[in-house]
Amino acid sequence: MKNGLKNKIYPIVFFAAVLGTWEIISAAGIFAAYILPAPVAILISLFSDFKNIGRHSLITLYETFTGFFIAVFLSVIVALIMDAVVTVKKTLYPVIIISQTIPIIVLAPLFIIWFGYGYLPKIIIVILICFFPVTVSFLQGLSTADRELVDLMRSMGADKYSIYRFVKIPSAMPAFFSGLKIAATYSIMGATIGEWVGGKSGLGVYMIRAKHSFATDKVFAAILVITVLSIIFLKIIELAERKYMPWLYMPEDFYIEEK
């Protein structure tokens, strides 16, 4: 418990020191306010324009959650098919890997041209960002299932459905949740990138408008909101992981080796 408390104190102290130094530099006037606003000014902008930021945040969250859950659904289906059918894996896996060499920021303008300025292009961007980590992680977890257990199930006459239900999918859960956490971290960023390229509302649009007005404090306020929302989303995934795999969060002294 003491070690866990210390591990939390260190980053808090470091973050407080960074904010304190930042505030001192801003108060000294070393940088103009439109270049580096003070943390206090950022918080003031956040609370003074909270209603407007909140409205844009809801749009970004809608795009994020819709794209995220569609990506997870597609990832599970594709990973299961690739694991079950070797030919499909040999065909699709290289394509999935190569697709990650194309920057999303390059594809975003094309999606705007093809699908307009509504929700759809942003949702597609979130799907593309979240699909890869979830698919690859889940596929890796399925492929590394205990071969002895799989062989045992087969020797007992189990069909493929039973093998996946009782062996492969449970053993792949840690890798699956790792992929979910990575995807959750980048999902809100993906929606924001889509809004930067073209959109009518959302935190990305809010940031572009604030930038054009040289309201840097509002840009930082939007960044703060995006950061907080990403952390909350990540914590939700961790809570689900704790619920379905509580043994991963057991304290180190829980397991006592027998002498």
Say what the pLDDT of residue 139 is.
Answer: 93
CA nearest neighbour of 4 among 259, 252, 254: 252
Q: How far is CA 189 from CA 95, 216, 243, 256, in A?
A: 24, 19, 27, 43
- Is 117 found in the same domain as 48? yes
Amino acid identity of residue 253, one-letter, is D
Is the separation of the CB atoms in 62 and 242 below 8 Å? no
pLDDT of residue 130: 92
> Does one domain contain both 153 and 167?
yes
CB 203 within 8 A of CB 222: yes
188 contacts 58 by C-beta, under 8 angstroms: no
Do 4 and 64 belong to one domain?
Answer: no
| Dihedral angle of Cα 194, 195, 199, 204, to the nearest 10 degrees | 180
194 with 90, same domain: the answer is yes
**Residues 123 and 46 reside in one and the same domain:** yes
pLDDT for res 183: 93
User: pLDDT band at residue 258, thresholds of 50, 70 and 90?
Assistant: very low
pLDDT at 212: 86
Tokens of 172: 């792949």
pLDDT digits 0-9 by tens, 12-39:
888 888 888 888 888 887 777 778 888 8
Sequence-distant contacts of 150-158: CB under 8 A, at least 24 apart? none
Asked whether residue 113 falls in the same domain as residue 59, the answer is yes
Average pLDDT of 59-87? 94
Report if residue 259 sits inside a domain: no
Query: Residues 11, 120: one domain?
Result: no
Amino acid residing at 182:
I
125 shares its domain with 58: yes
89 and 213 share a domain? Answer: yes
Map tokens 């270049």 to a residue: 35
Distance, CA of 173 to CA of 187 (rounded, Å): 20
Per-residue pLDDT tens digits for 200-253: 888 888 999 888 888 888 999 999 999 999 999 999 999 988 888 776 666 555
| Structural domain boundaries enclosing 20 | 1-30
Give the integer Cα–Cα distance in Å for 86 and 239: 34
Question: In this predicted structure, what is the pLDDT of residue 195?
Answer: 86
Question: Do 103 and 22 fall into the same domain?
Answer: no
In a domain, 258, yes or no: no
Sequence-distant (6+) residues with CB within 8 A of 40 are 23
User: Which CATH number fits the domain that encloses residue 205?
Assistant: 1.10.3720.10
Asked if residue 70 and residue 5 are part of one domain, the reply reads no
- Total number of domains in the chain: 2
Report the pLDDT averaged over residues 88-112: 85
- Interatomic CA distance for residues 242 and 240, integer angstroms: 5
Question: What percent of the chain stands above pLDDT 70?
Answer: 92
Q: Report the C-alpha gap between 236 and 229 in whole angstroms.
A: 11
| Interatomic CA distance for residues 105 and 218, integer angstroms | 23
- For 32, phi then psi, to 5°, come to -65, 155
pTM of this prediction exceeds 0.75: yes
Provide the pLDDT for residue 123.
92
Angle formed at CA 90 by CA 86 and CA 96, multiple of 5 degrees: 125
d(CA 83, CA 93): 10
